[in-house]
Amino acid sequence: MPVFVSKFGGTSLSTGERFLNAWDIVSSDPNRRFVVVSAPGKRFRSDEKITDLLMECAESQKRAAFEEIRSRFLHIASIAGVFIREELDACEEEIFSLSSKAHAASRGEFLSAKIFAKLSGFSFLDAKDAVFFKDGKIDEEKTGSAILKVFQRESKIVMPGFYGADEKGSIVLFPRGGSDTSGAIAACAIRADMYENWTDVDGVFDKDPNFHTDAKPLSFLTYDETERILDKGAAVLHPEALFWARKNKIPIHVRNTFHPHLSGTKIGQ
């Protein structure tokens, strides 16, 4: 049976309704058996991303700063029909017990994955137990072995993106947008048939749609063609995600969470 790794970005998970929409997408295809999630992003232009709120909270060390984070997650959880208070309480204590800023920043993805796991019934896999760094770089062999071992046992998994752990077990973050990379690494580990990158655009465009009204999404690109587009500043996919997928010959499918009926852009050899 084919298996897809499906990664959902922050805009795709910014509200409870959007969590439900993402679950509708996952549940519509039994091949979607490994999900990677970002922290909730902006709900509207002037909004703040959860990751930024967590960083501000860690820097200020003011418990009042955590209340907006708590409120956002409780609202998402209530619409998703799940309970998250215990996990929120634990994250708050971690942030105010002199944990690292990296640990604090990672809690957005952690809580997103907890909610999605409760919503979907998929098994939760903490990225700190699956994605390993050595000397500041991904330990490919250890990471691949860990993810594959859990997937062979559980078969339906939700994992937070954006972070892993170093040799001492401390949280290490990918660069911003790194949940794309987490998804690609998971796809490589389980030798997925497809890495789906669900985002808020209809695919990779032939021109920048922000400046060209006639821009059209491309149905297929090679890895090399995609790299050239990313080099020009396109933010539809993190370059490291492309690197891992190309290295392991995993096809990528960029799709719009809000227009799942559209074909998006497939990327491959």
pLDDT tens-digit map of 54-92: 999 999 999 999 999 999 999 999 999 999 999 999 999
Q: Which amino acid is at 10?
A: G
Domain of 120 in residue numbering reads as 4-268
164-204 per-position pLDDT tens digit: 999 999 999 998 778 999 999 999 999 999 999 999 999 98
Contact predicate 87/121, CB 8 Å: no
Q: What is the mean pLDDT of residues 94-115?
A: 93
14-70 per-position pLDDT tens digit: 999 999 999 999 999 999 999 999 999 999 999 999 999 999 999 999 999 999 999
- Convert 169-197 to b/e letters by CB count within 10 Å (16 or more is b): eebbbbeebbbbbbbbbbbbbbebebbbb
Give the whole-angstrom CA distance, residue 166 versus residue 138: 9
Q: What is the mean pLDDT of residues 210-225?
A: 88
Beta bridge partners of 194: 4
Give the whole-angstrom CA distance, residue 153 versus residue 197: 24
Contact predicate 192/253, CB 8 Å: no
Which pLDDT does position 234 carry in this prediction?
Answer: 67
3 state SS of 37: strand
> For the chain, how many structural domains are there in total?
1
Residue 256 belongs to a domain with what CATH number? 3.40.1160.10
Tell me which of 197-201, 205-209, 247-251 is least confident: 205-209
Contact predicate 69/40, CB 8 Å: no
What secondary structure letter does DSSP report for 14?
A: S
Q: Locate 3 and state its tokens.
A: 């298996």
Give the whole-angstrom CA distance, residue 19 versus residue 167: 33
User: Which distant-in-sequence residues (6+ apart) come within 8 Å of 45 by Cβ?
Assistant: none
Residue 38 CB neighbours (<10 A): 31
Q: Locate 134 and state its tokens.
A: 């050595």
Contact predicate 150/157, CB 8 Å: yes
Alpha helices in 140-204 (DSSP H): 140-154, 179-189
What is the C-alpha radius of gyration for the chain, rounded to an integer number of angstroms? Answer: 18
What secondary structure letter does DSSP report for 121?
A: -
Which pLDDT does position 153 carry in this prediction?
Answer: 96
Evaluate if residue 126 carries a pLDDT over 70.
Answer: yes
pTM above 0.85, yes or no: yes
Mean residue pLDDT across the chain: 94
First to last CA, the chain: 22
Which pLDDT does position 39 carry in this prediction?
Answer: 98
3 state SS of 253: strand
Q: What is the mean pLDDT of residues 125-137?
A: 96
Evaluate if residue 233 carries a pLDDT over 70.
Answer: no
Give the whole-angstrom CA distance, residue 13 versus residue 15: 6
Which pLDDT does position 222 carry in this prediction?
Answer: 97
Extended beta strands in 194-240, E state = 194-199, 220-222
Crossing angle of helices 101-120 and 50-60, in 10° steps, is: 140
Give the pLDDT band of residue 211 (cuts 50, 70, 90): confident
Task: Give me the phi and psi of 11, to 5 degrees please.
Answer: -65, -35
